[in-house]
Amino acid sequence: GSLLGICLALQILTGLFLAMHYTSDTATAFSSVTHICRDVNHGWVLRYLHANGASMFFICLYLHVGRGLYYGSYLFKETWNMGVILLFAVMATAFMGYVLPWGQMSFWGATVITNLLSAIPYIGTDLVEWI
């Protein structure tokens, strides 16, 4: 739990510093990321710390879930269900962060995930249009 808190604090801190130089327009998002890496003092460190911090956060998160499974924390239904909801919320947030630079990997990642959502019966196409 405390490692998750440290990773989350690191993500928030580096994310705030990165947001100071990021532009969210699809036409300029990728160039703003390259601007951060090339022109901002130690911007490349912030970006890679933020990217690798997300991976560390998920490693700690999966260890936390594994520990909960080992110790039988799933028996506390309300707590476990809230944890599952938080897990999906963190995954959705990480996906949005993956798409933000709007490079080729971001574009095709967004395309694949939205195509997966379109396979949901009845609501899939409406869900894709909403996203």
Tokens 């911090």 identify what position?
53
Q: pLDDT tens across 74-125, in order?
A: 999 999 999 999 999 999 999 999 999 998 999 999 999 888 988 989 998 8
From the list 23, 123, 8, the residue with the least C-alpha distance to 64 is: 8
Residue 22's pLDDT band (boundaries 50, 70, 90)? very high
Residue 46 burial (10 A CB sphere; 0-12, 13-18, 19+): buried
Provide the pLDDT for residue 39.
95
Provide the pLDDT for residue 43.
95
Give the fold, CATH level 3, of 2-100.
Answer: Cytochrome Bc1 Complex; Chain C (1.20.810)
Residue 129, pLDDT above cutoff 90: no
Count, residues in the chain: 131
Pair 87, 55: CB distance under 8 Å: no
Residue 21, pLDDT above cutoff 90: yes
Mean pLDDT of the chain: 93
Q: pTM (2 decimals)?
A: 0.85
Q: Where are the domains of the chain?
A: 2-100, 102-131
